[in-house]
Structure 1
Amino acid sequence: MRREQTVHLERLHTNMLELPWYIQEYIDTKEDTASPSTLLGYVHEYKHFLQWLMAEGIAPYEKLADIPYSILEQLRRKDVENYIKHLSRRKKINSDKDLIQNQKLSNSTILRSVSALKSLFHYLTTMTEDNEGEAYFYRNVMAKVEIKKDKETINARANRMRAKILHNDDDRKLLEFVATEYEKLVARTKKEAYFKRDKERDLAILSLFLGSGMRVGELADLQLEKINVNERIVTIIRKGGKEDSIWITPSALADLQEYLKIRKKRYKVSDDEQAVFLTLHNGSFKPMSVRAIQNMVDKYTKAFNVRLTPHKLRHTFATNFYNKEKDALQVMMQLGHSSTDTTVLYTQLGNATLKESLERLDE
């Protein structure tokens, strides 16, 4: 299990204690098949739903754990529709959980909330057994609620995503910007010392995203013993805990090696520490979290005037890789996709492949 998943598992078990026993039972049945991150997301959705029921007077209890499943059994379709309206009007909360931004929840986020509730109600009304061998209850109000997914073709999705990735040689320019220009922006500020300390590390991280296409969680959990310098291969843990080996570009390996030269001394690392990417906190090293890596990428790309996430850097790699090789199977294997369905997207994310094909019809 990846380090981030271990943290999420601990948080999952802590948060579950606030929920009613029948929801805890449902989560327990899913632990062998769903990731801790997914289940933690479910738990947050259920807590928010029960808190809404309490706030609306539908569940007149002081604690979430005291709400019986009879409350869920008695819910009307109008109650659920009102909850979905509540979600559509709810604003995003920042990572510190205290400042509300001026951005509403996306439709996909609302759909995930509804989907989580549908899964819970399906379990309670079909998979459970009481002392008489009957389901806890049979009236499934969530079965009356349709999930209206966004209708979008691959071309439409590609056009939307095209504006959110790096094109041509902008990936190289981003790395050059961090290596030679960013220091000028933070000169004579408190940020300068931190940048100089972390420069090699940050370049290695950006270079690996752009030179391998790995996910942020895979990069955060990268281990020293899993790096094969001679073969230019790193072994990572994919979603679901599956181990996979991928190649990285020569330039990404070069940046990684530059970081490894200074890693032990710069971050005061113990000999047995295997986590590759580290930070210093109160004078002691600790592995970088997914959130820390995301914030680091945001910092540099914002300064570069593009504002990208690690996932968009992954899209950039995949698009560049496909444009070079024109081989969707290679892209699928490198990214760890289970089918070519997702990979097909990258055939249209680059330099307007379909547009160029149509232009050739007039030649």
Structure 2
Amino acid sequence: MDNLTYHQQKYIENTKKLRSILETLPSFTKDYFRAIEPTTSTKTRISYAYDLRVFFFFLRESNSYFRNKETSQIKLSDLDLLQPTDIEEYLEFLKVYEGLDGKIQKNDERGIHRKFSSLRSFYLYYSKRRMIQNNPTVVLDMPKLHQREIIRLDYDEVAELLDLVEFGGENLTGMKKIYFEKNKVRNLAIFTLLLGTGIRVSECVGLDINDIDFKNNRIKVIRKGGKEDYVYFGEEVENALQNYLEVSRSLIHPVTGHENALFLSIQKKRMTVKAIENLVSEHAKQITSFKHITPHKLRSTYGTNLYRETGDIYLVAEVLGHNDVNTTRKHYAALDEDRKRLAAKAVKLRE
């Protein structure tokens, strides 16, 4: 797998992971996952598989008919036995339950919404093909989702965060100071790139050196679903990337198989999503204790700033790689209220 790209390697890893999860589900479920393969990513199918595993666990825990069955013994015809009340009990079960490992699992309204959506899609596949007669999921309404406020950094917090990444805190000593000096150029490039382009953390991790085009000031990214796209960057991002490549990256001899990776860990391997999430969290909590800042919140910060500067929701959707502009509009609706308030002050009746 040495000559494969990051995204090709992740596809292989996720495919293997999906197959292992499917081995824990009833055999008939494989038909469903084959059917949705052309329209979903492996990551999405893994999420669906985990959701269905919870559903079958619920049936064995809560329904007397299924209690003495192994998951592998459940048949497609068994789905016909379930009524809307069974699905309502499942949704209630999802709020708090004890998993197979004995740990307490919880789902908020978004977790419940997603798991019900997965189950609906699952049932719909078999009912459309008339392989089952009963679909209790269509009787129930989708759980309501309350709009969440966008968590983002303000202008002064962005500047403070970048200063911290570049110059370090006041109390750096010992190994922390050594680690800071060793990685500050790389870290500044990562933070500047995330805040200056709004790319996803997975897109950042997947970048290779040859994905950067300084002639046109753009990077090539692989979006959700495997779509290739170009994202343009400004002077600050250009300077941070150039500095990293010249001062830091050029001195590292990567581990075999990671030669092309743009951002490398101290182990000289491609950085992981988790590593960058930890990096962002570690720095951001020194800036604000009231906001839980993740790489996705840096993406929201960029999207907010772009919308404030341009007022063009279609541009924001395109740059962020949203397939549906309504997704973007939903997230930035609060900013429209700010613009409406400005309109109220724009017209003077008496000078």
TM-score by length of 1: 0.83
Return the alpha-carbon distance in structure 1 between the equivalents of residues 272 and 86 of structure 2. Answer: 39
Q: Is the 8 A contact 1:2 1:241 kept in 2?
A: no
Q: Which residue of 1 aligns with 2:296?
A: 311
Q: SS in structure 2 opposite 1:349?
A: helix
**Residue 112 of structure 1 aligns with which residue?**
114
Q: Secondary structure at the match of 2:117?
A: helix
Aligned partner of 2:29 in structure 1 is 23
Matched, 1:227 2:212: yes
Residues 1:33 and 2:26 aligned together: no
8 Å CA contact 2:160–2:287 kept in 1: the answer is: no
Letter in 1 for 2:344: L
Q: 1:327 to 1:126 in 2, by over 3 A?
A: closer
Distance 1:98 1:308, change over 3 A: farther
Q: Which deviates further from its counterpart, 269-278 or 297-306?
A: 269-278
Specify the alignment match of 2:285 in structure 1. 302
Give yes or no for the alignment of 1:258 onto 2:243: yes
Alpha carbons 1:90, 1:105 under 8 Å: kept: no
Match of 2:126 in 1: 124
Matches within 5 A, 1:77-96: 77-90=84-97
Asked if 2 retains the 8 angstrom alpha-carbon contact of 1:197 and 1:266, the reply is: no
Q: Does 2:342 align with 1:359?
A: no
Q: Deviations over 1:274-321 (max 9, x none)?
A: 22122144xxx3222222222221111112224311111111111112
1:293 is matched with which residue?
A: 276
Matched, 1:66 2:66: no
1:182-221 CA-to-partner distances (Å, cap 9, x unmatched) read: 3x44423x54443333322222111111100111111111
Deviation at 1:25, TM superposition (A): 1.3
Q: 2:228 aligns with which of 224, 243, 248?
A: 243
Q: Say if 1:20 and 1:66, in contact at 8 Å, map to a contact too.
A: yes
Aligned equivalent of 1:131: none
Q: Secondary structure at the match of 1:279?
A: coil
Aligned to 2:4: none
Match in the other structure for 2:190 = 205
Report the CA distance shift for 1:144/1:332 in structure 2 as closer, same or farther (over 3 A).
closer
1:170 pairs with 2:157: yes
Distance in 2 (CA, whole Å) between partners of 1:100 and 1:279 is 34
SS of aligned partner of 1:108: helix
The CA distance in 1 between the partners of 2:28 and 2:195, in whole Å, is: 45
Q: In the alignment, which residue of structure 1 is the partner of 2:261?
A: 275
CA RMSD in angstroms, aligned pairs only: 2.8
Q: CA deviation at 1:243?
A: 0.7
Cα shift at 1:87: 0.8
Contact 1:54 1:60 survives alignment (8 Å): yes
**Between Structure 1 and Structure 2, how many residues are aligned?**
338
- Ranges in structure 2 where 5+ consecutive residues have no aligned partner: 1-6
Contact 1:179 1:199 survives alignment (8 Å): yes
